């Protein structure tokens, strides 16, 4: 995605998010000032994608800390815990959300005074955002090594800059391969029922001039059978460490089964914050 377009940004006590419900027809930003507004934006899918949700949740806690005037460490922590519970309930499937919230709360609870906690919470939220962008760029670099010149790549849903703080996971790999001069073509599944592939992935790739064709979800196996797809790459909402299960947008399983049948490599690009080290798949 072009550098001037950011999914989420901190603007001096205001969180700006790109309202993805308006894409691709309009580029509009929401200005959020409270954790509850951030939670609503997550629930309403104004911002979506597991890494982006994690960053947004961290920013929600940062808003609570930044806007609190209390000089009491205990009262500030109480307000942060209230915001924590509101944000935690906004999207139960994205483990990045819980990871980011817990990380910021550990910083707050380890602070000795309210002012220190306020400063450190904001700094930690911004650090999470920047780390996500850097991790995505590294994933793109590593993943691009698996992409060959002339590859036809199938992707499902949107795992690009819009699903992260920037650059993207699955689309980050595609973006990096394209930047290296590899001639690739992308097949973006429309991704019903919310059409994230049609509305978001195609828009992203067109912004970067990467060749992309929009296909219906049930065309994927047909294209594999014809030899037009040589790689499948997706992101993930959650990866279960104990068993290796990948939890992602509905429809991903059928692509994985078809890819296995036709002997096509199936790649998952996700940061470590997406890995769930505690849960079993039956609990998710």
Closest alpha carbon to 214 in 151, 160, 155, 149: 155
Single out the catalytic residue among 19, 102, 151, 237.
Answer: 237
3-state secondary structure of 199: helix
Cross-strand pairs, 43: none
Alpha-carbon separation of residue 284 from 42, 50, 208, 242, 246 (angstroms): 19, 15, 35, 13, 11
CA dist., res. 280 & res. 32, Å (int): 35
List phi, psi (to 5°) of 20: -75, -10
Q: In what order do the strands lie in the sheet with 8-10?
A: 8-10, 15-18, 29-32
CA dist., res. 168 & res. 63, Å (int): 25
CA dist., res. 167 & res. 161, Å (int): 4
**Is residue 276 annotated as a catalytic residue, yes or no?**
no
Residue appearing with tokens 């998710």: 284
Quick count: other Cβ atoms within 10 Å of Cβ 59? 30
Closest alpha carbon to 237 in 189, 279, 185: 279
Catalytic residues: 237
């Amino acid at each position: 995605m072009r550098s001037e377009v950011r999914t989420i940004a901190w603007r001096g006590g205001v969180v700006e998010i790109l309202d993805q419900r308006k894409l691709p027809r309009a580029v509009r930003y929401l200005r959020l000032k409270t954790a509850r507004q951030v939670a609503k934006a997550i629930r309403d899918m104004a911002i979506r994608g597991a890494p982006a949700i994690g960053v947004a949740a961290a920013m929600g806690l940062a808003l609570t800390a930044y806007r609190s005037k209390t000089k009491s460490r205990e009262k500030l922590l109480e307000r942060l815990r209230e915001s924590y519970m509101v944000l935690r309930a906004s999207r139960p499937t994205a483990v990045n959300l819980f990871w980011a919230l817990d990380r910021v709360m550990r910083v707050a609870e380890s602070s000795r005074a309210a002012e220190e906690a306020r400063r450190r919470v904001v700094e930690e939220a911004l650090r999470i955002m920047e780390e996500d962008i850097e991790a995505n760029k590294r994933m793109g670099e590593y993943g691009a090594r698996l992409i060959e010149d002339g590859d036809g790549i199938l992707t499902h849903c949107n795992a690009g800059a819009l699903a992260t703080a920037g650059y993207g996971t699955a689309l980050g790999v595609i973006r990096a391969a394209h930047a290296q001069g590899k001639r690739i073509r992308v097949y973006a599944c429309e991704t019903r029922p919310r059409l994230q592939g049609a509305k978001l992935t195609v828009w992203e790739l067109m912004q970067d001039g990467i060749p992309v064709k929009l296909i219906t979800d049930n065309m994927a196996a047909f294209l594999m059978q014809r030899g037009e797809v040589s790689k499948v790459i997706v992101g993930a909402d959650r990866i279960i460490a104990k068993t290796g299960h990948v939890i992602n947008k509905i429809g991903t399983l059928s692509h994985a089964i078809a890819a296995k049948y036709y002997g096509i490599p199936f790649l998952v690009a996700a940061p470590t914050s997406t890995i769930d080290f505690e849960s079993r798949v039956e609990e998710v």
